[in-house]
Amino acid sequence: MHSKNISYVSRLDHLRFFAAFLVTVFHFYLGRSEAGYAPQFVKDFVAEGRVGVSLFMVLSGFILTKISYGKEIDYKGFVFNRFIRIYPLYVLVMVIAAFTVPMKVGFVQFLGLMSPFANLAELSTQKFSQVWTIPVEFQFYLIFPFLVAFLSRYGLKYLFGFVLLAVGVRFLMFDTDGTVRETAYWTIVGRIDDFVIGMAAAVIAMRYPKFLSSIPALVISCLCVYAWVVWFAKATGGFYGPTSHENPLWVIYPTIEASVFALFVVSYLNQQWKGSGVVDKVFSYLGEVSYSMYIWHLPLLLMFNKHSEFLPFSHWFANFAVVVFPVIVAVSSLSYYMIERPFFTMRKVYVKTNTRPSVMSEKAPA
């Protein structure tokens, strides 16, 4: 059930799983007080596992550009494919959230939750609070065909200029309001850097397939991700630090985080070594169900937190690895086969080879 618009690359599924795993283990780790030893450098990174969201969005920009760059896009077909990819499961959990205490929303509010701009609604989907990313993702889908058209016409300098514009907007907001943290983290105004830098990474990876292809390059890219995530958390006091919202680093936070993840993505995908067939299949499968994993993990974690006395181990990660994560994978697998996969048969081919420099007409409008 792979895409009709691109040949399958298993390592992309590996990265999807890694992004979902970061967010999942982060949410389980929050507030854990079980005894047990873990190296401090592991704790420091897990405590910032929210960055898996950035990796997800970088991958979105990367994959869609790899599919569409230099080709003509059928806009309706593209949006339709993206809709059936994410909305069936999203609608299901929003219905569950809407009729679950203490959520219970009115009809108009529910329609707001169903829209691509649901993150503008002042509603807290407590059991699925992480799905704020889905509307942001869809907002990017709505503009992506235009971005890739302008990329085809003007080259990478267009994307770099777009990022500079986004940074400039956030600087203006910070200068005016004294804070830009909420905008940088929760909205398309901040997250657009993830998508656009992911697009740029795809072009670079296609043009230079041996770029960052050595094992040392992969190690360095991993260290860059780790160093940035841990340093930023300490420099700002963490997301919920008492003065975090006043820190000007939030102006460039999306840009730098997207850049280090883009280096990691390109390096991992360009590696020349071949992994174990069994390991590849396991991580590929986990990547396939990663969207369901991302959607269902939070209510499952709330259940485990409520009944934490039944978890058998004293160490939080042992409980996660042996009990919690297998349950999440099982539920996600059921969700994938029952909710996600049946809709995949409806997907359409939305790209065709285009020899022109852009999908836009070369003639000026009449």
**Does residue 1 belong to any structural domain of this protein?**
no
CB 15 within 8 A of CB 297: no
d(CA 153, CA 147): 10
Gap between the terminal Cα atoms of the chain? 44
H-only helix segments in 289-365? 290-306, 316-319, 325-335, 341-344
Residue 136 has phi, psi (to 5 degrees) of -60, -45
Please say whether the beta carbons of 58 and 198 come within 8 A: yes
- DSSP-assigned letter for residue 246: G
349 found inside a domain: no
Nearest to 94 by CA among 107, 117, 110: 110
Judged by phi (left if over 0) then psi (alpha if -120 to 50, else beta), residue 70 lies in left
Q: Are 167 and 133 in contact (CB under 8 A)?
A: no
Does a structural domain hold residue 366? no
What pLDDT is attached to residue 355?
Answer: 42
Cis, bond preceding 209 (omega within 30 deg of 0): no
Q: Would residue 318 count as lying in a domain?
A: yes
Return the amino acid letter for 286. Answer: L
Among 230, 255, 335, CA closest to 288: 335
DSSP letter for 250, please.
G
Confidence (pTM): 0.90
**Is residue 170 within 8 Å of 180, Cβ to Cβ?**
yes
Task: Give the number of domains in the chain.
Answer: 1
Determine, yes or no, domain membership for 168. yes
Q: Please spell the DSSP secondary structure of 82-135, one letter per residue.
A: HHHHHHHHHHHHHHHHHTSTTT---HHHHHHHHSTTGGGS----GGGGGGGHHH
Strand partners, 72: 352
Spell out the per-residue pLDDT of the chain, length 366, in tens: 455 555 668 899 999 999 999 999 999 988 675 555 667 778 888 888 999 999 999 999 999 999 999 999 999 999 999 999 999 999 999 888 878 765 566 777 788 888 888 777 655 567 888 999 999 999 999 999 999 999 999 999 999 999 999 999 999 999 999 999 999 999 999 999 999 999 999 999 999 988 888 999 999 999 999 999 999 999 998 887 888 999 999 999 999 999 999 999 999 999 988 777 888 999 999 999 999 999 999 999 999 988 988 889 888 888 999 999 999 999 999 999 999 999 999 998 998 765 444 333 333 333
pLDDT of 109: 78
Residue 206 lies in a domain: yes
Domain that holds residue 72: 16-31+38-340
Instruction: Using CA atoms of 31, 32, 35, 37 in order, give the dihedral in degrees to the nearest 10.
Output: -90
Whether 4 maps to a domain, the answer reads no
Altogether, the residues listed in the chain come to a count of 366
Task: Name the nearest CA neighbour of 25 among 40, 47, 41.
Answer: 47
* Structure confidence at residue 316 (pLDDT): 83
pLDDT at 102: 57
**Is 363 part of any domain?**
no
